[in-house]
Amino acid sequence: MSDANPITRVWHLAARFVTSLPPTPPSVDDEVWVDDHLLPGERTLWVQLSNQDRRHSAAVGRRFVEARPAATRAETAGAILHDVGKIECGLGTFGRVVATVVGPRTEAFRAYHDHEAIGAVMAQRAGSDPATVELIAQRGPAFDALDASDHA
């Protein structure tokens, strides 16, 4: 989203902030849908995400499949796990807002800003397919669909 115009970026961040406030878990339907697309090691990572991040990742995964109907299981897993590296930063909603505003000034803020690379390593260690790892790292033929799905 680095090439998005500033108004679109602000709108996305504001909408993401508001939807990140309620701590409710994903719906049962989303939990089942995610389970159908993740390997056991990937599921172990996914359940470590906050409820807010799991709701977001399921929504992004569903939008991704709508945008890319021929997506493989590995690509869909990459869409679902695209933010899994945020586990490492340990920041909540307000900490992420500060990290977004001030940049990577602390170790936790650096981890937040590097969550894609961190998440790719985590997924690789969890036994993910190379296509899953590639998508989490923001690369590969399916990345444009993921980026659009994440910022819809």
Residue 80 lies in a domain: yes
Dihedrals phi, psi of 21, to nearest 5 degrees? -75, -50
Q: Quick one: how many helices (H) and strands (E) in the chain? A: 10, 0
Per-residue pLDDT of the chain (152 residues; tens, 9 = 90+): 445 667 666 666 666 666 666 779 999 999 999 999 999 999 999 999 999 999 999 999 999 999 999 999 999 999 999 999 999 999 988 898 889 899 999 999 999 999 999 999 999 999 999 999 999 999 999 999 999 999 88
Which pLDDT score is estimated for 36? 98
pLDDT of residue 22: 74
Q: Which domain holds residue 79?
A: 6-150
Task: Tell which residue, 48, 41, 31, has the closest CA to residue 87.
Answer: 48
Compute the residue count for the chain. 152
The one-letter amino acid at 26: P
Which pLDDT value is given to residue 97? 86
| Gap between the Cα atoms of 78 and 72, Å rounded | 10
Whole-Å CA distances, 146 to 61, 86, 95, 150, 152: 8, 17, 25, 6, 10
Report pLDDT for 1.
47
Question: Is 83 inside a domain boundary?
Answer: yes
Indicate whether 1 belongs to any domain.
Answer: no
Q: Which of 31, 53, 55, 35 is nearest to 43 (CA)?
A: 35
- 17 in a structural domain: yes
Domain count, the chain: 1
